[in-house]
Amino acid sequence: MIRSNLIIAASIAAICSVAHAATAEPASMLAASNPFAKVSPLQYGYPQFDKIQDADYAPAFAEGMRQQAAEIEKIADNKAPATFDNTIVAMEKSGRLLARVSSVFGNLSGANTNDTFKALERELSPKFAAHGDAIRLNPKLYARIKSLYDRRDTLGLDAESKYLLERYHTDFVRAGARLSAADKDKLKAMNAQLAKLQTTFAQNVLEEANASALILDRRAELAGMSDQAIDAAAKVAAARGLEGKFAIPVVNTTGQANLAVLTDRSVRERLMAASLARGSHGGKYDNRAVVLELTKLRAEKAALLGYPSFAAYALEDQTARTPAAVNELLSAFARPAVANARKEGAEIQQVIDQEKGGFQLAAHDWAFYSDKVRAARFNFDQNQLKPYFELNSVLVNGVFFAANQVYGLTFKERKDLPVYHPDVRTFDVFDADGKQLAIFIADFYARGNKRGGAWMNAYVSQSSLLGTHPVVANHLNIPKPADGEPTLLTYDETRTLFHEFGHALHGMFSNVKYPRFSGTSVPRDFVEFPSQVNEMWSTEPKVLANYAKHYQTGAPMPQELLDKVLASKKFNEGFRTTEYLAAAMLDQKWHQLGVAQIPTDVLGFEAASLKAAGVDYAPVPPRYRTTYFSHVFAGGYSAGYYGYLWAERLDAETVLWFNENGGMLRKNGDYFRKMLLSKGGTMDAMQMFRAFRGHDPQVEPLLERRGLTEK
């Protein structure tokens, strides 16, 4: 997943360049002692985490917005006729101080937040909305852009520059530049309120995740969990002032990892209930009213801009283009996915009946009993894999090894750079020619002040215009073991490590001129494509043999076990696809509503929507329910959660291409890098894919991969 540098700054992403150029900056009113006052002296502008204090952010934001506003005013008021350089390039160079502080604050607000960050997020969200609107709703600035756009074929621009001009014009039009003055005022008010609501939603989700741990009185209730995990639960409870008790924190998704091991069904039921109830059971973290207000405001904003729904507005600028195209894709998967899930559920019910369980399969039973089905069918369970998936080996001998084999990259860990938390690691990344390409930051362990999930972001993005090089980070939420214990990953965590590094490669391989196009600056339904491709190397035999070694003995994973892992890759795909589709369809149902269609009952609308979409199979609830669906109600995936499946269609085609051309070969990696990973957003994404693959993507390879082809 890609995380925007700032949830609250999403509205200015297109006009606030992540810049660390050595060129002169505007005169600053910021104290010279503030670490953001100048470009970091560390290599590649790497942030001075050891010098940054919480008190540094607010004045840097204030001065950053002031500087960029002055820069934009100067561009808009320029008496000279508009040229590409004095308008578009000047805008690309603007806002460097704001970009520096935004990148650090935005990243740490997800990875290492605190009360000061949360308060500043609430304060800044409407200010950022207003700042972005002041730029993109500036009539004199838009007039200059439009005058260039109307003459774009006569300006002698190279392809990247021409596309940049076209993108700026599109960005401004979609932001409301053509609206009347009165409608612009309405839009500004909407954007400010939307920014506040999105921040409220995100903070409610994080606060309730921390508050909604399942509290247990007796150690026996945690039967099935390892002794180390039970001891950790005791420590979590003690930290909450509950000495002698045990606490199982709730993670961001509906499913909870401990549901696969807890033997006490009543405890599993309580854990699942706690997860499902988040944001919808009253109290200060209830998100139902926030959802309704957000949905209504988004629909009103879309209507003001001339669209029937927010989804129609959002999707116009994605590769899918229309809600109809998204609905068609999701519907194509719904029937076979749910049919497979029901078959899987029937197999689980057989196990329950054989054990004389005396109950019908429920959502809190699925993970526990599906592992039994897996064990019976393939004669192994997930716990057999973990000793072979030690974190450092997976990273160095797996993820980094694959990047070396496919792209020629090498890595060297360094200890001299400051970090914001002791668990964070940093690496220099060298290209095949030995020249340094980037700095990579690895932040893999879960923390109470870290949001859930896994994501990549950039502290510095590549741009030849600004002379900047990538500083990119990957974040996961792997439970940290007790001191002295190894970090052993599940298969899903291993795959996620490869996935997120695919995003990192997209950022590191960027070879563009303009910061607007750097790295992962592509449509949301395209951005997951390179990361999903990188997952293929997690089970590549050559790579597996290099990293899947027993953490104690160093013995390689037995071929028999490896064969079972590969044979079981389609196992439980009905469940996995159905839970994803349910969430993606909820996203579309909410955002395809018109202004007059907004419901009053969040949970009632959710239930009706799942039923209408044909994905209301109770044992498989949505991966995210509405009230804790941060991707779409707080992040950048509004009306865009379908993008994972959309991108996976491209991924499945690309895996076929690699296999057709010899698999893990440098020539294949170099071609993929040249045609896709290096280009960022410099051209239409689907044109880019067609130039690489030679034809439009088909859905059949993905249906086959997920085991959803009808026999």
Q: Which pLDDT band, with edges at 50, 70 and 90, does 10 fall under?
A: very low
pLDDT of 699? 83
Distances (CA, A) of 637 to 37, 265, 627, 630, 708: 32, 35, 15, 9, 26
Helix ranges (H only) for 96-158 are 96-111, 115-136, 139-150
Q: What share of the chain is helix, strand, coil (3-state, %, to 5)?
A: 55, 5, 35
Give 496-519 as a 3 state SS string. HHHHHHHHHHHHHCCCCCCHHHCC
**First and final C-alpha spacing in the chain:** 33
Measuring CA to CA, which residue among 329, 340, 341, 323 is closest to residue 699?
A: 329
- The answer to whether residue 450 scores a pLDDT higher than 50 is yes
pLDDT of 22? 39
Q: How far apart are CA 518 and CA 678, in angstroms?
A: 9
pLDDT of 212? 83
pLDDT digits (tens, 9 = 90+) for 416-433: 999 999 999 999 999 999
Average pLDDT over residues 442-461: 92
Q: Which pLDDT band, with edges at 50, 70 and 90, does 11 fall under?
A: very low
Helix ranges (H only) for 592-680 are 602-613, 630-633, 643-660, 666-672
Average pLDDT over residues 210-239: 92
Whether the CB-CB separation of 269 and 364 falls below 8 Å is answered with yes
pTM over 0.85? The answer is yes
In this structure, the chain runs to a length of 711
- The answer to whether residue 143 scores a pLDDT higher than 60 is yes
Q: Determine whether 242 is exposed, middle or buried from the number of CB atoms within 10 Å of its CB (0-12, 13-18, 19+).
A: middle
- The answer to whether residue 27 scores a pLDDT higher than 70 is no
pLDDT digits (tens, 9 = 90+) for 509-560: 999 999 999 999 999 999 999 999 999 999 998 999 999 999 999 999 988 8
At 440, give phi and psi (nearest 5°). -115, 130
Q: Which pLDDT band, with edges at 50, 70 and 90, does 568 fall under?
A: confident
Mean of the per-residue pLDDT values of the chain: 93
Joined tokens for residue 50: 């050891």
Asked if 10-178 and 386-567 have one fold, the answer is yes
Joined tokens for residue 644: 């994972």
pLDDT of 445? 95
Q: How far apart are CA 635 and CA 314, in angstroms?
A: 13
Say which residue, 377 or 272, is predicted with more confidence.
272
- Ranking 7-11, 101-105, 146-150, 207-211 by mean pLDDT, the lowest is 7-11
Q: Which pLDDT band, with edges at 50, 70 and 90, does 384 fall under?
A: confident
pLDDT of 17? 39
pLDDT of 21? 39
pLDDT of 19? 37
The full set of domain ranges for the chain reads 10-178, 212-276, 386-567
Joined tokens for residue 49: 């985490």
pLDDT of 564? 83
Q: How far apart are CA 572 and CA 339, in angstroms?
A: 12
Average pLDDT over residues 435-460: 93
> Which distant-in-sequence residues (6+ apart) come within 8 Å of 644 by Cβ?
528, 532, 580, 584
Residue linked to tokens 């949360």: 118
Strand bridging mode 436-445 / 425-430: antiparallel
Q: Which pLDDT band, with edges at 50, 70 and 90, does 338 fall under?
A: very high
Q: How far apart are CA 647 and CA 687, in angstroms?
A: 14
The residues that bridge with 474 in the sheet, in sequence order, are 442, 456
Percent pLDDT > 70 in the chain is: 96
Q: How far apart are CA 450 and CA 447, in angstroms?
A: 5
Residue 431: strand, helix, or coil: coil
Q: How many CA atoms lie within 13 A of 699 on its CB side?
A: 12
pLDDT of 417? 98
Residue type for position 617: Y
pLDDT of 383? 80
Joined tokens for residue 475: 């974040």
Name the region of 548 (left: φ>0; alpha: ψ -120 to 50; beta: rest): beta
Joined tokens for residue 302: 């879309």
The active-site residue out of 71, 208, 344, 500 is: 500
Joined tokens for residue 688: 């880019």
Say which residue, 28 or 419, is predicted with more confidence.
419
Measuring CA to CA, which residue among 403, 469, 404, 470 is closest to residue 441?
A: 470
> Which distant-in-sequence residues (6+ apart) come within 8 Å of 351 by Cβ?
369, 372, 373, 376
Q: How far apart are CA 165 and CA 181, in angstroms?
A: 24
Q: How far apart are CA 499 and CA 514, in angstroms?
A: 26
Q: Determine whether 41 is exposed, middle or buried from the number of CB atoms within 10 Å of its CB (0-12, 13-18, 19+).
A: exposed
CATH topology of domain 386-567: Neurolysin; domain 3 (1.10.1370)
Residue type for position 360: Q
Give the Cα-Cα-Cα angle 499, 505, 508 (nearest 5 degrees): 150
- The answer to whether residue 412 scores a pLDDT higher than 90 is yes
Average pLDDT over residues 674-683: 97
Q: How far apart are CA 215 and CA 243, in angstroms?
A: 11
- The answer to whether residue 8 scores a pLDDT higher than 80 is no
Q: Say which DSSP state 11 is in.
A: G
Q: Does domain 10-178 have CATH number 1.10.1060.10?
A: no
pLDDT digits (tens, 9 = 90+) for 165-207: 999 999 999 999 999 999 999 999 999 999 999 999 999 998 8
Residue type for position 396: V
Q: How many CA atoms lie within 13 A of 533 on its CB side?
A: 30
Joined tokens for residue 237: 């409870």
> Which distant-in-sequence residues (6+ apart) come within 8 Å of 646 by Cβ?
319, 320, 326, 329, 525, 526
pLDDT of 23? 45
Q: Which pLDDT band, with edges at 50, 70 and 90, does 710 fall under?
A: low
At 451, give phi and psi (nearest 5°). -70, 160
How many other C-beta atoms can be found within 10 angstroms of the C-beta atom of residue 580? 23
Give the Cα-Cα-Cα angle 296, 302, 306 (nearest 5 degrees): 140
Q: How far apart are CA 98 and CA 121, in angstroms?
A: 15
User: How far is CA 450 from its chain centroid?
Assistant: 14
Q: Which pLDDT band, with edges at 50, 70 and 90, does 6 fall under?
A: very low
Measuring CA to CA, which residue among 483, 448, 529 is closest to residue 236?
A: 448
pLDDT of 567? 79
Q: Which pLDDT band, with edges at 50, 70 and 90, does 36 fall under?
A: very high
Q: Which pLDDT band, with edges at 50, 70 and 90, does 398 fall under?
A: very high
User: How far is CA 654 from its chain centroid?
Assistant: 21
- The answer to whether residue 7 scores a pLDDT higher than 50 is no
Q: Which pLDDT band, with edges at 50, 70 and 90, does 24 fall under?
A: low
- The answer to whether residue 5 scores a pLDDT higher than 60 is no
Whether the CB-CB separation of 195 and 11 falls below 8 Å is answered with yes
Percent pLDDT > 90 in the chain is: 83
pLDDT of 379? 84
Whether the CB-CB separation of 67 and 95 falls below 8 Å is answered with yes
Measuring CA to CA, which residue among 502, 494, 458 is closest to residue 476?
A: 494
300 catalytic, yes or no? no
pLDDT of 2? 67
Residue 360: strand, helix, or coil: coil
In order, the DSSP letters of 33-85 are TSTTSS--SSGGG---TTT--HHHHHHHHHHHHHHHHHHHHHHHT--SPP-II
Joined tokens for residue 603: 């949970």
